[in-house]
Structure 1
């Protein structure tokens, strides 16, 4: 699509959203029908849709919006009530149209041409600095004195937009140590969405007002459970600071949710009705659940879940998402949702990570790189040996509930690192791929039987495992 045509389409879609939201405020039924018509008009099925019947994600969205009884229809109405109109419209335009539709089509075209992975999202660290010292934080492995310059961040986004990426996740360190620079970046790239993972301690009304004005910032607050569990890991008083940050974000009508690392110690608490009701009441709209990864020489493998505990998470997150659950809340569990996203999304297949030193890594948990933004481009990294080693092996297991080349398939990552000769990017205490994956072997072996059972129960069949034995 030409630049002029794209700008015109975006403008017409924006005008349509303005009218739909206006109608929705007066009559939700009429407004939702308007939104459904916009989805049908501007998000047509493409050759890259996975559904064999020609339906894409947006087709399912249209069906939900037309059904007054649907949980997700009520969820959309809840967003309209709680989120600033500029923020909500910009999120739809950037995340759904620019990233999820137009950009996604471009990246698929490029993947066919280049025969390599092209990411849907790029996660990068504006800084390695942090005002907290959380136990087991993987970011601490990098050191605390690194920063991407404003020019670096601008170059990352410009390169990403060129290949169809319009969704950027910011972590660190604590990214809001650079909050003024983030506002500048978001303002400079109005067609991209910037999603910030933060401990919440630096969120103020003044910053939120600036975020509302640019419109293309959303947030995930890191939390580990209720006050006692959270403060044991993140420091005394951190839970109250998170609650305060939620109040500020909600008061300013910004879009936000939570980011949770679950372990064998907290997995039930962070998915309990009591916990979810608490964060929903505070204004949270979603949860990103991340399985604990034993990254770093000082990591504690004992925090890994048992097969029964992970199976509980598998079923519980699906229950939260179901139409039968009355909570207007969306949850995703990247490790257990592998069957919906074709396994591992790293290595540029759907995302990649750039640390505060500029190293382009396949995953936020895999600290190896053969390309740095100061000597190469994002596109060059995707075609270099490390990312191509990911590309040629994905999916790493036919059972997509065993997605990771480290956690569930610990023989694969050492192969990739040996083949690509990618050095460690860990500036504190470099860890070999063999040492990292050795911590996962027992876990992978134990999980395989449970994963096979769940895979069969989900209606899948066939041999579990990629070519060869990937657990040993």
Structure 2
């Protein structure tokens, strides 16, 4: 890296303390930064000692309800399942007993869940990443999040104007999402944008012009995902091929040298080896119906939380299904089993007599109808991190925790 690139990195790092509310910066540094560091260390020690399992982080889908019907999404259109406030509160409370204070809040669209902010307010010692399409973020909502201080909205942008409307099933999605972005900026929130990269949005979103646009709009971090064609209406033709995934990884590594915002992904370690966060045990998922799932797109499970989530620790410690899926996924590939081997995934789900956790009850059939597509585990084409900061963070948080032998 050059001197100019180091200077660019410093400018990027200084954006949060200079642009955001000081109280929010403190909450981020302590609730997310310090508490997460301790949590990761505790998780690593449990894994190393072979102690009973509990994930480092939990993703919570609070509701199936959504105001969009996106192509390739795993959420059931028109689904009505939702966790109770008592269950959400219990998940957080039980997780804190294990040292975990960071949670991803998903849907559907989580801002459709009434009472969500009251639950978050109760747990002011935690930090929450809110996965949202941004269309419901008004100035009132943004300033409510500012008052809470422990939320970072992660706003999904699936393309520019034409692509957003086509992918998400409504008109003016991009402009309405940008309105939510600008409300977050006005409230001086720490917030990000997310994108599930596929063939149709690759030209829109995988370029420096798009990164610069987001930074200009006040966004502090960009999270790139790889599109997974799942759900009731998957679009297999839109999945990336091997060369496109390789080019995406190369682009991310190059842009991290001097991008005006932070670029996040959870698919590769510091050396460019592929990984699956669920296989490492870093993260598992609670569905809107209370199912304890391997990850959000795998919507079948053996165990469910009870009415107050007081059995959560027991479920994670004793689940043979989750343990076997972690083991089998890590043994056969470092990539995504949904993309690379949906047939084997279906066999594992049947082996453990799992049940469909959705309203539509067609998930197993969907997996059996899928065909393998390219994944991010491309042996011999690894691209190591070149930015010192990202390399350090990846070594600390994404080295696999022994999952890959």
Could you say whether these structures have the same fold, taking a TM-score greater than 0.5 normalized by the shorter chain as the test?
yes
In the other structure, the counterpart of 1:58 is none
- Alpha-carbon shift at residue 332 of structure 1 (Å): 2.3
Q: 1:78 aligns with which of 15, 27, 34?
A: 15
Q: 2:336 aligns with which of 404, 410, 415?
A: 404
CA contact (8 A) 1:342 1:395 kept: no
Distance change >3 Å, CA 390–CA 70, structure 1 → 2? farther
SS of equivalent residue, structure 1 residue 268: helix
Distance in 2 (CA, whole Å) between partners of 1:280 and 1:72 is 13
Alignment of 1:50-449 (within 5 A): 69-99=6-36, 101-112=37-48, 115=51, 117-140=53-76, 143-178=78-113, 181-234=115-168, 235-322=170-257, 325=258, 327-336=259-268, 343-346=275-278, 349-374=281-306, 377-382=311-316, 383-393=318-328, 395-397=330-332, 400=334, 403-410=335-342, 412-432=344-364, 436=367, 439-441=370-372, 443=374
SS of equivalent residue, structure 1 residue 140: coil
Q: Highest Rg: 1 or 2?
A: 1
SS of equivalent residue, structure 1 residue 184: helix
Give the alignment's TM-score, normalised by structure 1. 0.74
Give structure 2 stretches of 5+ with no counterpart.
386-405
CA contact (8 A) 2:340 2:374 kept: yes
- Alpha-carbon shift at residue 341 of structure 1 (Å): 8.1
Distance change >3 Å, CA 217–CA 388, structure 1 → 2? same
Deviation per CA, 1:252-273: give whole Å up to 9, x if none. Answer: 1001111111111112321212
Distance change >3 Å, CA 338–CA 69, structure 1 → 2? closer
- Alpha-carbon shift at residue 348 of structure 1 (Å): 7.2
SS of equivalent residue, structure 2 residue 300: coil
Deviation per CA, 1:188-245: give whole Å up to 9, x if none. Answer: 1122111101111211222222211221000111111211111122211111111111
- Alpha-carbon shift at residue 74 of structure 1 (Å): 2.1
CA contact (8 A) 2:71 2:234 kept: no
Distance in 1 (CA, whole Å) between partners of 2:144 and 2:8 is 32
- Alpha-carbon shift at residue 415 of structure 1 (Å): 4.3
- Alpha-carbon shift at residue 112 of structure 1 (Å): 4.7
Deviation per CA, 1:115-157: give whole Å up to 9, x if none. Answer: 454322211122111122223321126x521221111110010
SS of equivalent residue, structure 1 residue 139: coil
Larger deviation: 85-94 or 371-380?
Answer: 371-380
Higher RCO (C-alpha 8 Å, min separation 6): 2
Q: 2:380 aligns with which of 445, 453, 457?
A: 453
SS of equivalent residue, structure 1 residue 353: strand
Give structure 1 stretches of 5+ with no counterpart.
1-66, 460-472
Count of aligned pairs between the two proteins: 378
Distance change >3 Å, CA 307–CA 341, structure 1 → 2? closer
Distance in 1 (CA, whole Å) between partners of 2:341 and 2:19 is 42
Q: Alignment RMSD, CA only?
A: 2.6
**Which structure has greater helix proportion?**
1
- Alpha-carbon shift at residue 248 of structure 1 (Å): 0.7
Distance in 1 (CA, whole Å) between partners of 2:331 and 2:239 is 20
Distance change >3 Å, CA 342–CA 381, structure 1 → 2? farther
CA contact (8 A) 1:396 1:404 kept: no
Distance change >3 Å, CA 309–CA 148, structure 1 → 2? same
CA contact (8 A) 1:129 1:174 kept: yes
- Alpha-carbon shift at residue 426 of structure 1 (Å): 2.9
- Alpha-carbon shift at residue 363 of structure 1 (Å): 0.4
SS of equivalent residue, structure 2 residue 137: coil
Give the alignment's TM-score, normalised by structure 2. 0.85
